[in-house]
Amino acid sequence: MRGSLCRTKSISMDDGHFYIVMEWLGEGNSEAAMGPLPVDNDTARHTAQQALKGLRTLHTHNVTHCDVSLRNLMPQRSRAVLVDFDTALVPGLDRHTNVWGTLNYTAPEVFESCDYGPASDLWAMGVCIFELVTGRMPFFCLDRRPQSVRNALKAMRRGVRFTASDGVPDAAQDLIRGLLTYDKHRRIQSGGGGL
C-alpha cells in the first residue's frame, strides 16, 4: 500500500551500522501538521482510514509496528503515512522483552506480558482516533513504574469513556470501543476490520 506506509528508498550496511533511507515527507507529524486537537470528523475519518490501511498491509506481511501514535503518523495531502519503524517486529526477529513505544498508546497485553502483535497496533490506533476526535487521551500511564502501570490497566479495564461535549458520532464511538477493547481476542482483529 504505497499511500499509507513510508516508502524505503535504499538499505545499506557498513561495519557497525545499518542504514535505511526513506522517502522525505517534510517536517512535523500529525501533532504538528493538524494543529490543535480535536480535528473535524472528516479529517479524523480520513486519517484513521489511511492508517488502518497501512496497518492492514503491515499485518498481512507479519510486521507489527509496535509504536503507532500521532507522532508516527504523517498527514501528506490526500494520504496519511505511518512512519518510524525502528521498533517494528518483522519475521525472523526475536520478540520484544521490554515495553517499547509511546506509553499512552500501549496496549494492556503489552504492559502485562510484552505481547506485541497486530492487536497491540490496533489498540494504539484506537488511542490515536480517540485523541483526534476528542483532543485528549483515553488513558494515561505516566511512567513504567508498577503503580503507574497498574493504574493505567485499571482504567483500561473500565473502558473508554466519552462525554456529551465530545460530539463524537456513534459510528466513531463504536469503532474506538472496538479498537480499545481490553481483551485482545475480542478487539477488532485487523486494520480492514476498522474500515
* pLDDT at residue 194 greater than cutoff 70: no
* pLDDT at residue 71 greater than cutoff 50: yes
**Residue 20, C-alpha cell as written in the block:** 535505511
User: What are the CA-CA distances from residue 58 to residues 82, 85, 163, 184 (Å)?
Assistant: 10, 11, 33, 18
Strand intervals (E) in 4-160: 8-13, 18-22, 73-76, 79-82
Instruction: Give the tens place of pLDDT for each residue, 26-66.
Output: 655 656 667 789 999 998 999 999 999 999 999 999 999 99
Catalytic residue among 40, 42, 67, 115: 67
8 Å CB contact between 125 and 195: no
In order of their start, the domains of the chain are 27-194 (1.10.510.10)
Assess whether 121 carries a catalytic annotation. Answer: no
Instruction: Give the tens place of pLDDT for each residue, 151-183.
Output: 999 999 999 999 999 999 999 999 999 999 999
What is the reported pLDDT for 28?
59
This prediction's pTM: 0.87
